[in-house]
Amino acid sequence: MKQYDIEDLSVATAYKSYPETIRTTLLALRHLIFEVADSMDDVTLTETLKWGEPSYNASGKAGTPIRLAPSKEKDLCGLFVHCQTSLIDEFRSRYPDAFQYSGTRAILFAPNDTVIKPELREFISAALTYHRRKSLLVKS
């Protein structure tokens, strides 16, 4: 399995601040985000801290940022996207039972949930190309 080191000290510090059960799930999600980005020819991923939480975005503003953080709901963590995108609604209608959704901004996970799912790979890919796909639809 390929290793994706955390190069930004502030991102590493954020992960270290989370409880171990949450951190383990979030790091598995992080690894999946990097795997998906690596599998895409035209995506270069950047990892930063936004609002004190690890954030992932495709260079060139092709996508919408994906943030990983504990949820306000007890003992859950989430993969968050901007609430103004249609991503959560699209995936909720396509895969109503695949995930635990929270409003228009998150897919939530319990500490022992399996995060390696084809539907989640598809979601991450859609997020990393959200603005590019949206602009192609407008031009069509």
| CATH number of the domain where residue 88 is located | 3.90.1150.200
pLDDT at 82: 94
Does residue 1 lie in a domain region? no
Task: Give the type of residue at 69.
Answer: A
CA–CA gap between residue 140 and residue 132 (Å, rounded) = 13
> Number of folded domains in the chain?
1
The reported pTM is 0.92
> How does residue 133 score in pLDDT terms, banded at 50, 70 and 90?
low
DSSP string, 65-87: -EEEEE-SSTT-EEEE--TTSSH
Q: Which amino acid is located at 26 in the chain?
A: L
- Would 3 be classed as within a structural domain? no
Could you tell me if residue 2 is inside a domain? no
Query: In one letter, which amino acid is 36?
Result: V
The answer to whether the Cα torsion of 80, 107, 18, 113 is positive or negative is: negative
What phi and psi, each to the nearest 5 degrees, are found at residue 102? -130, 105
How much is the pLDDT for 59? 84
What is the reported pLDDT for 140? 45
Residue 139 has pLDDT above 70, yes or no: no
CB atoms within 10 A of CB 140: 5
In a domain, 125, yes or no: yes
Range of the domain at 23: 9-139
> What pLDDT, on a 0 to 100 scale, did the predictor assign at position 138?
47
Give domain status of residue 84, yes or no. yes
Return the H-helix or E-strand segment holding 139: helix 130-139
User: Using 50, 70 and 90 to split pLDDT, how confident is the model at 134?
Assistant: low
Mean local confidence (pLDDT), 58-62? 83
Phi, psi values for residue 137, rounded to 5°: -65, -40
> In the structure encoding, which two tokens stand for residue 52, read together?
């004190």
Q: Are 76 and 70 a contacting pair, CB within 8 Å? A: yes
Q: Kindly state whether residue 4 falls inside one of the protein's structural domains.
A: no
Question: For residue 97, is pLDDT > 60?
Answer: yes
Residue 109's pLDDT band (cuts 50, 70, 90): very high
Looking at residues 114-127, what average pLDDT do you find? 94
